[in-house]
Structure 1
């Protein structure tokens, strides 16, 4: 991996919808070279996928309920946290999973259609895993910023005048 690969990755991570021709101009390489590099990075699992960030509150579809779950686990001999993490990330509800420092070992981000669906996931799937000692669930109430994108419209700002002594 060279400097051009890193530059290409940075641009794609920030602006995944750019065409290969646009990317080629931005990093000063021929378009066919950019195509080769992207395919290699995808094959090597450096680029894992491309996605869109959607503000579901502006659509007719009901917003999914998102929760962050702090999980305390007992690591397994020889595999540490990896074994239990692998069991957890295989559930389709799990959108993200991180090993953390601090009081809890894992942070699990899940989505569901309702709070009760998430509660069922925690009580029936997550808490029943042998390595799981405890969980703490935090429901996302409002999204202000995610992946660098601000979700609050300027029109939604508080119109009240600031009064100070």
Structure 2
């Protein structure tokens, strides 16, 4: 991948809302060159989509529960972990699946309305798959940073009491 493509990808990874004109100005290119470059990267599937990061904790009555589930599986003969991962990522509750090194094979990010909803998904859908040997579930209690974005208000004063000897 050429340096210009990488520069463009880094810019839109930080802010997918940047206008083509702004990107062109930042990169010292014409609007048309940037449009062609974006189209080329989309065609190559280097750019898979555009998303917005939302702090759901700040949206009234819309909080979601997120869990990270460590999954130990039996890989399928001839295809390894790919078919198992594909079976898991097709569930609508699943937001991400990663092949991991270490004690567990897959890390699965799951979202639901309640802990109970996630629990039902794990016990009734995920754990019942033939290739799944075991799961360990970790519920996210608070998000501090996601995809490089700090979710806390940085200008909040430190509310802790100063303790001195």
Aligned equivalents of 1:2, 1:155: Cα separation in 2: 39
Q: CA deviation at 1:147?
A: 1.3
Q: Report the CA distance shift for 1:47/1:153 in structure 2 as closer, same or farther (over 3 A).
A: same
Is residue 127 of structure 2 the alignment partner of residue 127 of structure 1? yes
Q: Is there any run of 5+ residues in structure 2 with no aligned partner, and where?
A: none
Counterparts of 1:157 and 1:147 in 2: how far apart (Å)?
24
Please give the TM-score of this superposition, normalised by the length of structure 2.
Answer: 0.94
What is the alpha-carbon distance in structure 2 between the residues aligned to residue 102 and residue 47 of structure 1? 30
Q: Which residue of 1 aligns with 2:56?
A: 56
- SS of 2:5's equivalent in the other structure is helix
Distance 2:20 2:158 in 1: 42
* TM-score normalised to structure 1 length: 0.94
Residue in 1 that maps onto 2:163 = 163
Counterparts of 2:162 and 2:4, CA distance in 1: 48
Aligned-partner SS, 2:141: coil
Using the alignment, how far apart are the partners of 2:128 and 2:58 within structure 1? 37
1:106-148 deviation line (CA, Å, top 9, x unaligned)? 0000100111110111011111111100000111111111112
Secondary structure of the structure 2 residue equivalent to 1:123: helix
1:69 alignment counterpart: 69
State the superposition RMSD in angstroms: 1.4
What is the CA distance between 1:150 and its match in structure 2?
A: 1.6
**How far is the alpha carbon of 1:27 from its aligned partner?**
1.2
> Hey, what's the Cα distance between the residues in 2 that align with 1:144 and 1:157?
16
Structure 1 unmatched runs, 5+: none
Map of 2:4 onto structure 1? 4
In the alignment, structure 1 residue 136 sits paired with structure 2 residue 133: no
Structure 2 residue 84 is matched with structure 1 residue 78: no
Whole-Å separation in 2 of the counterparts to 1:7 and 1:34: 11
User: SS of the counterpart of 2:60?
Assistant: coil
| Count of matched residue pairs | 165
